Amino acid sequence: MGGLQHYRMAMDPAIQKLGTMTTNRHKYFRWTPRTAGTTIGFLVVVPFIVGVIGYQTDGKYKFRAKRKGDLISEY
C-alpha cells in the first residue's frame, strides 16, 4: 500500500490514437454521398417506418387485464 501505484497501466498506442480520433472527429468531417445518405436514412426513413407501423397497429393490441391464454389482439 504505502505509495505503490497499482492503478497505473501501460497505455496502448492504438487506444490512444482511437481516443484522439474520436475527440477530433468533428474537425475532419465532410459531407459525401455516403454520409448524406446515412443521415437522411436515420433522420427521415427510420422515423417514417416506425410511424407507419405505429399507425397500422394503433389500438390493435391491449395488454391490460389479460390472463394466461388470452389473446392480446382485439381484431
Which residues are CB-contacts of 73 (< 8 A; sequence separation ≥ 6)?
60, 61
Domain contains 59: yes
**How many independent structural domains does the chain possess?**
1
Domain contains 8: no
**Predicted local distance difference test score (pLDDT) of residue 56:** 92
Domain contains 9: no
Domain contains 1: no
Domain contains 3: no
Domain contains 2: no
pTM, full prediction: 0.56
CA–CA dist 53, 37 (Å, integer): 22
Domain contains 62: yes
- Confidence band of 46 (pLDDT split at 50, 70, 90): very high
pLDDT tens for each residue of 4-15: 666 666 788 998
Structural domain boundaries, residue 21: 15-75
What is the residue-averaged pLDDT of the chain? 85
Looking at residue 23, its amino acid is T
CA–CA dist 30, 38 (Å, integer): 13
